[in-house]
């Protein structure tokens, strides 16, 4: 019966290839089962009837599924304690096969008398994967030999090739529109139609355009994806998921799971300490992770949108501070807006150390702030090891020194560092940073 299913799948696969006229990679050859010798070894024993499978080459986006048969082959009942896949792209299902061929879910630690057949169904999803990968499934039982490893090998070939993945703007200040482009071609050199859609609602101020490199054509061998960020885009870390969907069928896509979430991009320019205003979906809004029946690509647009004046960190930590010990920490506050540069440098900023609510801090006298002005002309002398970021008109380096003191029963002190610009003619908002110090009680 199993051979018949494989043959039928192969016929369907070949038919799909013929209709789509796409040379798809071949189906994998299933390795035969190794027969078990029941009762040949004393105690609980686990026999792996199939240890490795190589799926061969598959198109990116296809799903492959394989069954690994396991046999309780000892003289006493076997107990499977856990089955674990090495990667979230591989989903496993454990089931017991009855004498009549029906299935039921495996219950961990249940008695598996000699001769019991257990099947581990491993399903590999090649979405967002590229190149050769080897995934493992670990099976833990009370077999004296310990854990057993099942292996799946696969080579993923992307059909849609995207020149920029992700499309990363990096750190940008939007005084005017900024655009970046990516070029999309096919791995076979074929002509194709292409469309895009957001997988979540686009933030305000973000526009996407997709055009064939042959103007006016509905099908082309290459396309250009242009993303533009306008002034008014929310500040902070932004990650925009898009789907690029062709009109060319994806042959033999395989079994499909219904996904409701998507992983973050593997490569991102986002800072870990930066606030995310795009971040998680709004309440009740789900990521649209539909899997088309045609070749597709999950593209991300990433950016860190800066305020006119922005610190490089929002949190200052002094670590553990012993009594009478001196330590310091620093932050750079840069100006990216040419219209704000004059106010930014009009006199030295004022620094206040406050409690978490902005009120008086009892131990404020233990903290000493020092400001150092950095301009494009002076940075080589003042801060030779640290250049200003692209687009910066200058910065203030703030260093805060702390003299250690006892925590009077508390081992943690937190508060705020407020930096204001009283000499500015315009209205520059104060910069507020959070700080924390660990003390000896």
| DSSP secondary structure, 214-274, as one string | STT-SSBSEEEEEEEE-TTPPSEEEEEEEEEEEEEE-TT----------PPPSS----TTS
Whether 260 and 288 have beta carbons less than 8 Å apart is answered as no
Confidence of residue 159 (pLDDT cuts 50, 70, 90): very high
Q: What is the model's pLDDT at position 255? A: 59
**Structure tokens belonging to residue 261:** 């979430």
**Do 160-305 and 309-439 have matching folds?**
yes
The pLDDT tens digits of the residues spanning 86-127 come to 888 888 899 999 988 899 999 999 999 999 999 999 999 999
Q: Is the peptide bond before 166 cis (omega within 30 degrees of 0)?
A: yes
CATH class name, domain 160-305 = mainly beta
Q: How far apart are CA 72 and CA 18, in angstroms?
A: 44
Taking the whole predicted model, whether its pTM rises above 0.75 is answered as no
The pLDDT tens digits of the residues spanning 44-91 come to 999 999 999 998 889 999 998 889 999 999 999 999 999 999 888 888
To which residue do tokens 């078990």 refer? 36
Architecture field, domain 23-157 = Sandwich (2.60)
Fold observed for domain 309-439: Immunoglobulin-like (2.60.40)
The pLDDT tens digits of the residues spanning 232-251 come to 899 889 999 999 999 999 98
Domain boundaries, the chain: 23-157, 160-305, 309-439
Residues 6+ apart with CB under 8 A from 38: 71, 73, 114, 115
Q: What is the model's pLDDT at position 236? A: 87
């Amino acid at each position: 019966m199993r051979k018949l299913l494989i043959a039928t799948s192969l016929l369907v696969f070949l038919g799909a290839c013929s209709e789509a006229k796409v040379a798809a990679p071949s189906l994998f050859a299933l390795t035969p089962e190794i027969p078990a010798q029941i009762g040949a070894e004393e105690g609980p024993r686990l026999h792996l009837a199939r240890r490795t499978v190589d799926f061969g080459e598959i198109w990116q986006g296809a799903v492959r599924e394989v069954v690994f048969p396991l046999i309780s082959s000892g003289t006493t009942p076997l107990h499977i304690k856990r089955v674990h896949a090495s990667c979230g792209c591989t989903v496993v299902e454990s089931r017991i096969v009855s004498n009549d061929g029906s299935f039921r879910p495996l219950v961990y630690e249940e008695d598996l008398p000699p001769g019991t057949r257990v099947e581990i169904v491993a399903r590999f999803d090649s979405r967002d994967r590229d190149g050769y990968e080897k995934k493992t499934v670990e099976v833990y039982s009370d077999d004296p030999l310990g854990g057993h490893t099942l292996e799946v090998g696969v080579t993923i070939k992307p059909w849609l090739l995207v020149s920029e993945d992700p499309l990363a703007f990096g750190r940008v200040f939007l005084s005017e529109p900024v655009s970046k482009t990516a070029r999309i071609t096919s791995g076979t050199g074929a002509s194709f139609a292409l469309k895009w859609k957001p997988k979540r609602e686009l933030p305000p101020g973000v526009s996407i355009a997709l055009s064939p490199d042959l103007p006016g054509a509905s099908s082309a061998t290459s396309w250009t994806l242009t993303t533009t960020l306008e002034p008014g885009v929310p500040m902070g870390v932004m990650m925009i998921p898009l789907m690029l969907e062709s009109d060319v069928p994806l042959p033999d896509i395989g079994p499909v799971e219904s996904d409701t979430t998507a992983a973050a991009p593997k490569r991102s320019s986002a800072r870990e300490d930066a606030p995310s205003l795009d971040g998680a979906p709004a309440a009740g809004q789900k990521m649209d992770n539909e899997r088309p029946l045609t070749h597709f690509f999950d593209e991300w647009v990433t950016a860190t949108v800066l305020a006119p004046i922005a610190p490089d960190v929002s949190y200052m930590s002094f670590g553990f501070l012993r009594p009478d010990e001196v330590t310091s920490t620093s932050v750079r506050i840069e100006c990216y807006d040419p219209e704000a540069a004059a106010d930014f440098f009009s006199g030295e900023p004022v620094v206040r150390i406050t409690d978490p609510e902005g009120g008086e801090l009892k131990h404020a006298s233990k903290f000493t702030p020092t400001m150092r002005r950095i301009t494009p002309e002076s940075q080589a002398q003042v801060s030779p090891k640290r250049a200003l970021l692209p687009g910066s008109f200058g910065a203030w380096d703030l260093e805060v020194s702390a003299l250690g003191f006892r925590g009077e029963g508390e081992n943690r002190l937190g508060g705020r560092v407020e930096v204001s610009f009283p000499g500015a003619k315009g209205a520059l908002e104060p910069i507020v940073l959070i700080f924390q110090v660990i003390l000896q009680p």
